[in-house]
Amino acid sequence: MENTIKFNPTERIPAKGYAVSAKDAKFQPFNFTRHPIGDNDIFIEILYAGICHSDIHSARSEWGEGIYPMVPGHEIAGKVLAIGKNVSKFKVGDYAGVGCMVNSCGECEACKRSQEQFCERGQMVLTYNNLDCFHNNEPTYGGYSNNIVVSEKFAIEVPKDAPLEKVAPLLCAGITTYSPLKFSKVKEGQHIGVAGFGGLGSMAVKYAIKMGAKVSVFARNDNKKQNAFEMGVSNFYSSLTNVKEKFDLIISTIPTKYDINSYLKLLKYGGEMAIVGLPPIETTPKITATQLVYNAGKKVYGSLIGGIKETQEMMDFSLKHKIYPETEIIDANQINEAYEKLTTGKAKFRYVIDMKSLQ
């Protein structure tokens, strides 16, 4: 085994990061341990971690009571420091990415078709805020930290020349928007609408344009209109009134309360609406049977991240075509400020934490 660091496969690994102790608490430095490196695991030094709006929903218990202390972060990019004896996909020194999942049963139909996020045995383990059934139900801790131990199957290969700080957000914002565009089989010339123009929305825009679509953004103000046109969108709507364009697909990445029906009305016959934004439970948008019937011939579906195989495909596609997120690098002690900006309309796209700032 080629390890640059010595490790004992029975010893827990010290880690440090930033955690919240309750839903209304601020992020504070936090020391904890990772489970030992198993035979199929790799040990990653985390270099960059993106801040996804899901981190905010989770940290603030907006989707249900969180597990505290909580170290969020599921947009992880780093360097492999050690590998277990059965590992074949990675060598020490390689770059690797970790997204929203760190394990699953691997045997059910969903896992076999690499849709691990739908593991039929309920054994999909989320990167944080989850209990790890493969490790004595210990709580999982995410990427706002200096290292992670993960089964190699759940780590994404990243080439050595990739810009790691831009790679990190691909692990969630990238795959979550790439997946529905593929599922809906986006074709050249189609009209695609992207509702919510933040971390995910901007990735949806870039992928859809690369796929040859005519892309329009729906936002709630004009703050990022110029950014959208620089990315190549055809239209930018800060209000839904008077929109004449009809869409083949609208992807909603909106993280707040909104009216799904007003977007359904903008679909062509046969058009689709993919919902990925997940507002807090108390404000979750609803759609009635009547609204569906009066929008007959249109389809609405939800999309949840993407499987590991598709995540690797997205990574390769993004790097090949140089499709990267718009990022702003911050230090770990600026996480509280970033959360504040992301929830008060003051953020642009993706904040990425530089983990060197933890030292």
176 binds ligand NDP (CB under 6 A): yes
172 binds ligand NDP (CB under 6 A): yes
Residues in the chain: 359
201 binds ligand NDP (CB under 6 A): yes
| 85-104 binders of ligand NDP (CB under 6 A) | none
**Alpha-carbon gap, residue 341 to 345, rounded angstroms:** 6
Pairing of strands 76-83, 95-98: antiparallel
Secondary structure element (H or E) that encloses residue 130, with its range: none
Q: C-beta of 29: minimal distance to Zn ion in Å?
A: 23
Nearest to 59 by CA among 87, 89, 34, 28: 28
Q: C-beta of 245: minimal distance to Zn ion in Å?
A: 29
| Long-range CB contact pairs, 221-225, < 8 A, 24+ | 221/345, 223/345, 224/197, 224/348
Q: Which amino acid is at 29?
A: P
Q: Can you read off the two tokens belonging to residue 304?
A: 């949840």
**Member of 276, 315, 323, 338 binding ligand NDP (CB under 6 A):** 276
57 binds ligand NDP (CB under 6 A): yes
Question: 80 φ, ψ to 5°?
Answer: -75, 120
278 binds ligand NDP (CB under 6 A): yes
Q: Can you read off the two tokens belonging to residue 275?
A: 């919902």
| 110-169 binders of ligand NDP (CB under 6 A) | none
**Member of 20, 47, 49, 54 binding Zn ion (CB under 5 A):** 54
**Member of 38, 198, 271, 307 binding ligand NDP (CB under 6 A):** 198
**Judged by CB under 6 A, which stretch of 47-55, 125-133, 260-268, 314-322 contacts ligand NDP?**
47-55
**Alpha-carbon gap, residue 294 to 319, rounded angstroms:** 42
**Binding-site ranges for Zn ion (CB under 5 A):** 52, 54, 172
**Binding-site ranges for ligand NDP (CB under 6 A):** 52-54, 57, 172, 176, 195-201, 218-221, 253-256, 258, 276-278, 303-305, 342, 345
